[in-house]
Structure 1
């Protein structure tokens, strides 16, 4: 499955509409209650449960939406989440792009506020910017942890889809622990993101960098990707979106704010840049090494530009994306075998992985 970034002009995902009905029915089932038999109690209980759920939605939206901002980076629009009361805002690296200054519109500001880049970390598709002036009443969001995310959990996606600021959609957590790769430029692959939260909440262009929120009002993820299917009209795969988990956001943003950069990524690396090569049948045949970091893990193992990596450990790597996904499952410092082709001959080297 391919994944595409969600910002202006890109993918969307659809809401699982039957969810609310399923929740309401579950809420009023009782083995000894007349509600099971369709009596008067059942008729009264259903509207009460609906009202309770609606009240909870509205309370969470009222509490969290002021912490979600619209972010303008050059000509692109995206979203961000207020991280602290000092004016730090976390968003996606692909939202900020190559820009260094930004216009930020909060839920309560009449005019856009100016902000500057603190640091962008494309490897995890996260970035932190900082308001040049912190307005009164700026409200930081509350970020949850991985233990607060469960499949089937109701979630709300908040952001600025298609430039419509302060928009909210609803869905559920569809799965956890997903590994997805972003589309890359023509000369390489995009970031490979691990432990992603999959959701059915509608995520449309401009939602990137916003908030995926549970009904306790805690941010459990940053919406980042929407799935795409080349066989579908428009390419979008409805109802499949991905968010970077809040635990990762806290780790990366915390390092950026305290050190001005990411000092401990926890992500394994070979120290190479690669591109996908194809065989005579135009099928992916491996990850060709374009550059080798001097003194890096691959260089120490004897790899050089022009080698074609075909396997990492026991995992075939028929493309640059597959190599990135295989590395995402490894830990820095681990020792593994790298199989590669050089001038048509297969070689294997033992490599101690570095850190990205």
Structure 2
């Protein structure tokens, strides 16, 4: 396989969207990606359950809806928006009632259910004492929250603690994000623009094409489906979380729950399983390897710790700073700044 390159999109006009790592090698075409199923712990006599009881192994049990309740989810989304009160009297953007309704619990659970068999939001370790699944939901929502919360003009602390989910697409929709180098595999549909959409925004025709292949929804011809369907908007985000960006690299899911085992070279690059490396997987050198004062990295960490608290997990369970941060990690992939 030839060496792959990657484009980073610089969405100057997006209110809260962060930069997005995307595959940009027109020689690359992969087969439909299906994650490895997670071993279920449904019976006490099962091998996985016995390992869990002995404090070993990683297994899956239950559902995302059991791990994250309606009220906990709403404390991050709808209730967070409603609680801001006087903030609306200032000049900050107020989310529309449509936006508040769009990012809803039912849609999130419906999307999550499609990836539960592969361990999303349902993973346990240490004999079932630690719900990695619950923490994983907070981790994904932290990435989402850092991109689609409203009020970009307020302080980071105010956004994290008081602002709910708002944006569902890029504000500047005039740039087409059509790469004709992919016309054979992922041809651009006439009159269609592939700007950022969804909870973890995707850009460019080739990424919409990859999502089309894996999710069996024709987003290449109809990317607007993401804007109009909250379940699909969440599903694309979970797909990004569960899917490796590049062959022979882990997914954000795998590095978070510990399915990924670093090689000697990765250890030398300071990449370790944990939340910090999810930022490396998703954003590469636009966030990671820039030291402890990198703003975007610290914002996402703040969201994660706060969201853990909202769903009933002690933020201290997130671990030490070296697991939360990617400040000293060598980025997985280089980036190319491409202003629209």
Q: Common fold, TM-score beyond 0.5? A: no
Which of the two has higher C-alpha Rg?
A: 1
Q: Which of the five TM-score ranges fits, normalised by the shorter chain?
A: under 0.3
User: Quick check: which one's helix share is greater?
Assistant: 2
The TM-score, its normalising length taken from structure 2, stands at: 0.23
The TM-score, its normalising length taken from structure 1, stands at: 0.22
